[in-house]
Structure 1
């Protein structure tokens, strides 16, 4: 793939995205998204360190997702109003400060407040993804989004593994201190490397936010993608928030390092990102979505058997990651068929719904782990999969109105 302009200079929408820049943006997505998932294998350690019930620190997963959703509403629409390179660098710097404060947190309340800001700043991911979709040629948009999503999924997987291992070796505070340094370095690199698309002029910031609501009301296609995203990510967070508690107790009794390594089992979801993007470019989005939703239902049936049996649990994790990540790539690529002028706002609408689903799934996990155990978690996951299946059955002929 070629590009008429080097990185760090003016660039034109749709002119092409250099492979080197695409890969750098994919790495950036992985580094940023990792900040949302470091906490999951550390939950038992945090509960012991602060001397609180698991639910008190488990809420960290929820507030991070809520912070992310707030960032999607308040920050990502700015991509349709201000220069995107400056927006990305500023958000990365803010995230580095929030991570440093997390490492220094003296109690659960401060920890939760800092994690909410980490979630807010991590919406940098969505600015980067829609920027890549804007720069890419239309016929290569699926490939570009799939590449960045591959980086994102690798970040999710490696975050759990790295935080579990580093948490065992040096404590959970070292995890967040290291993440702060990494994000500060990334901000400096992206300041030099990103192309400088000119800021758009037009609506004021309040008008921009209100127009997101108008888009959701008018675009049934967008609302359907939002519903798929919400159900998928709710299922994902339901699993990964409750799983550390299952694995830290009998019959498993694993350490944080081993629990973190379970994130690597979802590597199939990473491979699925590129495949899903290419299948969408061939016009197969609807049937592929149906297959992926079916995998979610099968995954929760396998997870139910995983309460005492490791092999079904491993199968369930793999299938769920493939299903959730595949649907997400298809959704994101499809919403980027909307015009450039509204793409940030469409991203805001979709991703807000997506991460509200994550907050829902994390909240359900905290509640169900304490009150219904692993069987209750699996029943809730099965219900989410059935709802997604019902949505898919009626989705074939729904297309965007705006073009």
Structure 2
């Protein structure tokens, strides 16, 4: 940490760094649901607002596009302005956008609001570098792992949660619940979040221009973002196709069963804090090897599950494969974030923005690859393609030790 960071944070440490970390984990978990909930709500929204197929397809797209723009244009402000004020204002925008989305009278109003909501969800990536700055380097992996557990759980529960709320009330209720939850969390953060003023005196334009330079100068960022992108590709490839496979034999799940199955992955996300702790102990390299082997092996189990005749055995094996896959993916993500947050303190915001932007590209590639694989060879092909991303991660482990210390 820089001198300015150390002096600023030392005054806030008596407020309990652990409590702040867990509050950060809950905040990221709640906020991130807004990015993935539209994927399950799109049908209800389009019918309610009489939207065309093209407009309906833009709901999720604009939300994620807004998030990508927020990553690249808003998160760098972490390196320029006082972090607490930045996070609070971004969360306020998220609350307002969620309320406007819930009350949107027209398709245009909803699309604009979801874009703003997606951009405001960049507050997630503002929390991570602040949490990283709160703890000594020797404990940074543990802290990031704790926050990442909230993030991954939020991603996994977003779709079933949105489905359950919409079924109980309607799609607008989801956004009202989200706005309420973010308001409560913002109030808690306003009282307890430490202030952190960056040491850099660079201009905003120079921060944006520094992206290519950072990517060129930091091999740890390149390698760890690459394996994170592979992990995200496996994640989106699996989850974009599993909902198509679960209604079919031998699984035979209805919509509610699919929503409940999505919660299985939460068990895998619970391994994230352990990954951070073990990374701090110097075990990152063997853990990365194990992680990428686990990803490939778990997808082989998922492919095998679909070949079984027994409904119960098939579901159990698929659930086991899903949990192991989530453990592998979240471990890679946690170790990658730990590595980049041990780099330049003055550039944590931009480093996190680049890391997340790159692994979201991986997610898009994974979804496209799974779609093609499903059309070509069904579920087995999807598992093979998703498992290939794990094998590529293993090949990277063999080729380099970058970012494993």
TM-score after normalising by structure 2: 0.85
1:222 Cα shift?
Answer: 1.1
Does the CA-based 8 Å contact 1:99-1:180 persist in structure 2?
Answer: yes
1:275 Cα shift?
Answer: 1.0
Instruction: Report what 2:359 is aligned to.
Output: 354
Task: Give the Cα separation in 2 of the matches to 1:54 and 1:295.
Answer: 39
Q: Does 1:311 align with 2:316?
A: yes
How many residues in Structure 1 have an aligned counterpart in Structure 2? Answer: 392
DSSP-derived class of the 2:400 partner: coil
Task: Give the Cα separation in 2 of the matches to 1:107 and 1:383.
Answer: 43
Instruction: Report what 1:4 is aligned to.
Output: none
1:268 Cα shift?
Answer: 2.9
Q: Which stretch of the first structure deviates more once superposed, 298-307 or 245-254?
A: 245-254
Q: Does 1:387 align with 2:372?
A: no
The counterpart of 1:342, out of the listed 336, 344, 347, is 347
1:392 Cα shift?
Answer: 1.7
Q: Which stretch of the first structure deviates more once superposed, 150-159 or 21-30?
A: 150-159
Task: Give the Cα separation in 1 of the matches to 2:375 and 2:191.
Answer: 48
Task: Give the Cα separation in 1 of the matches to 2:305 and 2:167.
Answer: 25
In structure 2, the CA distance between the partners of 1:218 and 1:14, relative to structure 1 (3 Å rule), is farther
In structure 2, the CA distance between the partners of 1:255 and 1:99, relative to structure 1 (3 Å rule), is farther
1:112 Cα shift?
Answer: 5.4
1:210-249 pair list within 5 angstroms: 210-248=209-247
Instruction: Report what 2:4 is aligned to.
Output: none
| Structure 2: stretches of 5+ with no match in the other structure | 1-6, 308-313
Instruction: Report what 1:150 is aligned to.
Output: 149
1:290 Cα shift?
Answer: 0.9
Does the CA-based 8 Å contact 2:220-2:402 persist in structure 1?
Answer: no
TM-score after normalising by structure 1: 0.86
Backbone CA RMSD of aligned residues: 3.1
1:172-183 pair list within 5 angstroms: 172-183=171-182
DSSP-derived class of the 1:347 partner: helix
Task: Give the Cα separation in 1 of the matches to 2:114 and 2:258.
Answer: 21
Instruction: Report what 2:3 is aligned to.
Output: none
| Structure 1: stretches of 5+ with no match in the other structure | 1-8
Task: Give the Cα separation in 1 of the matches to 2:119 and 2:317.
Answer: 36
1:58-73 pair list within 5 angstroms: 60-73=59-72
Instruction: Report what 2:311 is aligned to.
Output: none
Instruction: Report what 1:11 is aligned to.
Output: 9
1:252 Cα shift?
Answer: 4.7
Task: Give the Cα separation in 2 of the matches to 1:275 and 1:251.
Answer: 34
